A and B are shown apart, each in its own frame.
Chain A
Amino acid sequence: MTQRLSFTHATIALVIAALLILFLLIPVATVIYVAFTNSDGSLTFSHFGSFFSLTLMRESFYNSLYVGGMSVLISSLISLPLAYFTMRFRFRGAVLIQTLGVLPLIMPPFVGAAAMQLLFGRSGSVNLLFNDWFGFGIPFMEGLNGVIFVEALHYFPFILLNLTVALANIDSAMEESAQNLGASGFRLFRRIVFPLAMPGYLAGAALVFLKVFDDVGTPLVLNVTNILAAQAYLRITSIGIDDPIGYVASLIMVIASIIALWGSTWLMRGRDYATQQRGGSTLAKRELKPWQAVFAYGWIILVLLVVLSPHLGILLLSFSKVWSYSVVPDVYTLDNYATVFRDSSGMMANTLLYCGLAAGADVILGTAIAYLILRTKLAGRQWLDLAATGAIAIPGVVLGIGYLRTFKDFQLPFTDEPFTAFWLIIVIAYAVRRLPYALRSCTAALQQLHISLEEAAENLGASKNRTIYRVVVPLMAGGILAGFVTSFLTAAVELSATIMLVTAQSNAPMSYGIYLYMQSIAGRGPGAALGVVAVVTVAIGTYFSNRLIRSRAAGQDSNPLNTGAHA
């Protein structure tokens, strides 16, 4: 590698590092710093003492862990049978599984929470029917139950998809050899299949835990305030930016997230089962016995009904004038849509602008980092990867608080407006929070690109930069686009950081608008209508980008070098 080239690489790496330090490391460090210092700057642990001496905070701490753990458990119970049945039996549910996988992308839990209240709450549709039929109801939505129920239904696909991939990657000979030695049925699953799928399962479980821990919108919409994310938000917004309790809550959230992430990788250290050498044949899918078929189809239909219920509920709610104490709304109307298009079109435009900018920044950074990691020998390049990926462990509320505190004294040049009230800070928060997803897409795309394709270009006279421009980026385009779409879509429904950073209605995006509407009974109709608009936008975006990516991928499949390096 020439001197000049490594100089360019180093410069790019330094710029990225500076951005990550300024907008991720320093804000998080500030939160940690404030949690450990008195107002005069001296070191103290007293904030932790005061935190745990407050009954509400202790309760919130336990509740957060409980809700996170239970959500993982319920998600696992939903996912395990679904994954196993689709992967090991001749079963027509595979398409449904794929559909279930994109649902959480399309609608975040806080949007559906209000609808779930109407469907599963004490006087919701299901309990009204249950009371009619059996004379009793089921407290799906009471207190923490409601949060767990909503979160598990929204996030179980993370476990399902990871588990499905893990099961698909198990060499069929692994199971056949166990059968050959006498194992079958549940013992085969318990002793061989599940342990081998464990890395995928744990990755999914950690993700679910993170998402639930991070979510501030769902508990607030369901009126549950005694959990950490809600407390961190409420302390900072109601008591003030200097309230140390909010920082302690934030720090605990970060620590729990890091433990979940680190724990899942630590448990699986050195056990990359998926890359084991694979035998020739794929495992023959077995026929379901009649009772198994009844159970499998019954389970998937039930899950599907419940999983679709928030979407259905939101749709009904958006068209309803009055909906209370009845199984379905009493009066239907289009007024809600008229209201949101009249009052909230600015928010829609804001969402497009913010998310477009953030996703654009993410794929540029993602491509650059992926290239530095995989194609250069730059010292410390893995730290870039670690820092960028580390954003995944920082809850949105915490990042928001970090920004507010870190930049509270910064004024925008030429105006008296504080930087923390400027809309760009929301874009930056989105970009930082979604960078891990974009980076993963870009890294995967570059990994699949065999280095010989680049060497061939260089051999024929293309410089490094020309090679990147003419060979690398075009071949990575599918992955880059996937990264852009994932960043864009997930940012469009982001609320945790948004809720901290929105200072005025005029600079609020749609997700904040939905949340605002959902605060009041009267606002639920318009809130649902805005939710439907967001969901439809996101769904259309997902559909078209999937088609685009798939058509590109189909064109590239014929290239044997594509997978050559990692086959």
Chain B
Amino acid sequence: MNTVVNRKVRVDIDNVSLAYGATQVLRDVSLQIEPGEFFALLGPSGSGKSTLLRMLAGFNQPQTGTIKVDGADITGVSPWRRDIGMVFQNYALWPHMTVAQNVAFGLEERKLPRADITRRTAAALDLVGLSDYGARRPNQLSGGQQQRVAVARTIAIEPKVLLLDEPLSNLDAKLRVHMRTELLALQRKLGITTIFVTHDQEEALSIADRVAVLDAGVIQQIGAPTELYDHPVNRFIANFIGTINLIAGAVDATARFTSPLLGDHRIPVKSGLSGAAELAIRPHALKIIAAESAASETLIWLDGSVTEREFLGEFMRYRVEAGGNVFTVDMPHFGGQNHTVGARVKLGIDPVTVTVLPAA
């Protein structure tokens, strides 16, 4: 890839649906992926994210709706005519070919001149740092190396769009973190529009420009990672992205959240919500102090007691019982200043850092 001039293309998915019998796999899914974007499809297993990716590759056909790449409708085009490269979850390296033969495969199918094939194969292997491994067989490589060969094989054809199907799920934890930064660097270098499927929210949040969260075949929310984390639109997103504490209540006529648990405290709600609602608070947005300590006026304080604690290195995770609710609270860990299980504490909620969601 001496010529990193992959023209960046956009992908438009419009009202795509698919059902197997009574099982609705995808319902009316619409997505616009910008040219050159690193886009993640995130969801639990069975959410339809892999089906959607396979539709882009042409292995599944939508029953309704269209898929456009670079403005051209590709619905119904055979997989081998799409020029959309896919890296498979288990890499799918052909064991009867060497690494170089694997990488050259797509170029040979495109009937390129021999010299070009050799040059581009070498360039692709070079790009993933495996120049010396061309003569090996896939089963002589480590998991991480196999993953790189799979990537090299796909980018060698200079696809319009790159699809990654849980590419890191078969690697051990440390390698996974390393490979994801490598993938991101490669994507930035090539500028290729990339769609990445994962069930790992940390993975999606850490490398994607934008994330679409799917559940039960429906897109729940699309947005930048920070947006999803800070402003989840519903309980599913709030729970799926990170950890969340929920307080049941309602939005009253003055657009303020009330709950028996909060007593007289009312929290203003900016969105147009009304009726039954839930207050969503991240564990790190809560605070606990010893029951006898002086409490700041800016927070809402509840009386509670510590029922469990877990030491997670950077912070201590407490479970605090207050007013019949159990809250998860993350407090920075300072030597010797931790609360013990059974301790009476005050639990502080900062009204500025909370989100109000419609009740599920």
Report A's interface with B, CB cutoff 8 A.
171, 173-174, 176-184, 187, 191-192, 195-196, 198, 271, 273, 276-281, 284
Interface residues of B in 45-68 (CB under 8 A from A): 50, 54, 57-60
CB atoms of A279 and B88 under 8 A apart: yes
- Whether B88 lies near A273 (C-beta < 8 A) is no
Is A180 within 8 A of B105, CB to CB? no
Instruction: List which B210-235 residues lie within 8 A (CB) of chain A.
Output: none
| Most chain B CB inside 10 Å of its own CB: which residue of A176, A187, A198 | A176
On whether the beta carbons of B90 and A171 are closer than 8 Å, the reply is yes
Asked if A273 and B96 make an inter-chain contact with CB atoms under 8 angstroms apart, the answer reads yes
**Residue B236, interface by CB 8 Å:** no
Residue among B78, B84, B94, B154 having the largest count of chain A Cβ atoms under 10 Å: B94
Across the interface, name the chain A residue whose C-beta is closest to B78.
Answer: A184
Contact A182 B110 (CB under 8 A): yes
* A411 CA to B57 CA, complexed, in Å: 76
With an 8 A cutoff between CB atoms, is B153 at the interface?
A: yes
Number of residue pairs spanning A and B whose beta carbons lie under 8 angstroms apart = 80
Q: Is B118 an interface residue (CB 8 A)?
A: no
Chain A residues, Cβ within 8 Å of B153? 177, 181
B92 touches A176 (CB 8 A): yes
Known interface pairs A171-B92, A181-B154, A273-B95; 7 further A-B residue pairs with C-beta atoms within 8 A, sorted by A's residue number: A173-B92, A176-B86, A177-B153, A180-B82, A180-B84, A182-B106, A182-B110
Contact: B88 with A271, CB < 8 Å?
A: no
Q: How far is the CB of A180 from chain B (nearest CB, A)?
A: 5
What are 29 A-B interface contacts by the 8 Å CB criterion? A171-B90, A171-B92, A173-B88, A176-B79, A176-B92, A177-B86, A177-B92, A179-B59, A179-B78, A180-B57, A180-B80, A180-B82, A180-B85, A180-B86, A181-B85, A181-B105, A181-B106, A181-B154, A181-B157, A182-B80, A182-B106, A182-B109, A183-B80, A191-B105, A196-B96, A273-B95, A279-B88, A280-B50, A284-B59
CB pair A271–B92 under 8 Å, yes or no, is no
Does B78 contact A279, Cβ atoms closer than 8 Å?
Answer: no
Interchain CB contact under 8 A, B106 and A174: no
B89 at the binding interface (Cβ < 8 Å): yes
Interface centre among A171, A173, A183 (most CB of B within 10 A): A173
Contact across chains for B95 and A184 when beta carbons are under 8 A apart: no
Residue of A nearest to B89 (CB): A279
A344 and B88 alpha carbons, distance in the complex (Å): 64
- A174-B94, A271-B95, A276-B95 known; A183 and B105 CB under 8 Å? yes
The answer to whether A173 and B90 touch (CB under 8 A), given A180-B85, A187-B109, A198-B96, is yes
> Across the interface, which residues of B come within 8 angstroms of A180, CB to CB?
57, 79-80, 82, 84-86, 154
Residues of chain A within 8 A (CB-CB) of B86 are: 176-177, 180
Contact A279 B105 (CB under 8 A): no
Contacting B89 at CB < 8 Å: which of A173, A182, A183, A271? Answer: A173
Query: Quick one: given A183-B80, A196-B95, are A178 and B105 in contact (CB under 8 Å)?
Result: yes
Instruction: Give B93-112 interface residues, CB cut-off 8 Å to A.
Output: 94-96, 105-106, 109-110
Query: How many whole Å from A178's CB to the nearest CB in chain B?
Result: 7
Among residues of B, the one whose C-beta sits closest to the C-beta of A188 is B80
Inter-chain contacts of B94 with A (CB < 8 A): 174, 177-178, 192, 195-196
A183 x B90 contact (CB < 8 A): no
Q: CA of A198 to CA of B78 in the docked complex: distance in angstroms?
A: 27
Q: Give A58 Cβ to nearest chain B Cβ, in Å.
A: 39
B3-56 residues with Cβ-Cβ distance < 8 A to A are 50, 54
Q: How far is B80's CA from A173's CA once the two chains are assembled, in angstroms?
A: 14
Query: Which chain B residues in 66-87 approach chain A with CB under 8 Å?
Result: 78-82, 84-86
Residues from chain B with Cβ under 8 Å of A183 in the complex:
80, 105, 109
Bound complex: CA of A176 vs CA of B106, how far in Å?
12
When the two chains form their complex, are residues A195 and B96 in contact, meaning their CB atoms are under 8 A apart?
yes
Instruction: Give chain B nearest CB distance to A59 CB in angstroms.
Output: 39
Name the A residues within 8 Å of B154 (CB-CB): 180-181
- Smallest Cβ-Cβ distance to B81: which chain A residue: A182
Q: Report the separation of the CA atoms of residues A271 and B47 in the bound assembly, to the nearest whole angstrom.
A: 36
Task: Tell me how far the C-beta of B307 lies from the nearest C-beta in chain A, rounded to whole angstroms.
Answer: 36
> Which of A182, A279, A284 counts the most chain B CB atoms within 10 A?
A182
Which B residues are CB-close (under 8 A) to A173? 88-90, 92
A177 — which chain B residues lie within 8 A by C-beta?
Answer: 86, 88, 92, 94, 153
Q: How far is the CA of A180 from the CA of B85 in the complex (A)?
A: 6
Closest to A185 in B: B80
CA distance A284 to B170 in the complex (A): 24
CB-defined interface of B150-165 with A at 8 Å, one 1/0 digit per residue?
0001100100000000
Residues of A within 8 A of B58 (CB): 179
Among B54, B60, B80, B84, the most chain A Cβ lie within 10 Å of the Cβ of: B80
- Contact B92 A182, beta carbon cutoff 8 Å: no
**Would you give the shortest CB distance from B101 to chain A, in whole angstroms?**
10
Measured CB to CB, the closest approach of chain A to B109, in angstroms, equals 4
User: Which B residues from 197 to 217 make CB contacts under 8 A with A?
Assistant: none
- CB of A181 within 8 A of CB of B88, answer no
Residue from the set B60, B84, B96 with the largest chain A CB neighbour count within 10 Å: B96
| From A174, A195, A198, A284, residue with most partner B Cβ within 10 Å | A174
Q: Separation in Å of the B137 CB from the closest CB of chain A?
A: 8
Task: Determine the distance from Cα of A191 to Cα of B94 in the docked complex, in whole angstroms.
Answer: 10
Interface contact A279-B90, CB-CB below 8 Å? yes
Cα of A279 to Cα of B84 in the assembled complex, Å: 20
Residues of A within 8 A of B60 (CB): 284
Q: How far is the CB of B268 from chain A (nearest CB, A)?
A: 47
Q: What is the CA–CA distance of A196 and B110 in the complex, to the nearest angstrom?
A: 22
Please indicate the chain A residues that have their CB under 8 angstroms from the CB of B85 in the complex: 180-181
B59 (CB) vs chain A CBs: closest residue: A176
Q: In the docked arrangement, what's the CA distance between A88 and B230, Å?
A: 48
Report A173 CB to chain B, min CB distance, Å.
4
Instruction: Give the distance to chain A from B94, nearest Cβ to Cβ, in Å.
Output: 6
In the complex, what residue of chain B is closest to A192 when comparing beta carbons?
Answer: B94
Measured between alpha carbons, how far is A178 from B86 in the docked complex, in Å?
Answer: 10
A196: which B residues are within 8 A, CB to CB? 94-96
B89 contact set on A, CB distance < 8 A: 173, 279-280
| B26, chain A: closest CB distance, angstroms | 15
Which B residues touch A284, using CB under 8 A?
59-60
A-side contacts of B90, CB under 8 Å = 171, 173, 277-279
* A64→B85 CA distance, assembly (Å): 51
Taking the nearest CB of chain A, how far is it from the CB of B124, in angstroms?
Answer: 12
* Structural contact, A179 and B92, CB atoms closer than 8 A: no
Which B residues are in CB contact (< 8 Å) with A171?
90, 92
Interchain CA distance A191-B105 in the complex, whole Å: 9
A195 contacts across to B, CB distance below 8 A: 94, 96
CB-CB < 8 A to A198: which residues of B? 96
A280 CA to B57 CA, complexed, in Å: 16
A173 to B146 alpha-carbon distance, docked (Å): 15
Q: Are the CB atoms of B59 and A182 closer together than 8 Å?
A: no
> How far apart sit A352 and B49, CA to CA, in the bound complex (Å)?
60
A184 contacts B80, CB within 8 Å?
A: yes
Q: Please, which residues of chain B bring their CB within 8 A of the CB of A178?
A: 94, 105
Interface residues of B in 299-336 (CB under 8 A from A): none
A271 and B96 in contact, given A177-B88, A279-B90, A284-B59 (Cβ under 8 angstroms): yes
Hey, which chain A residues are within 8 Å of B106, CB to CB? 181-182
When A and B form their complex, which 5 residue pairs have the shortest distance between CB atoms, in order from nearest?
A181-B106, A182-B109, A173-B92, A177-B92, A179-B79
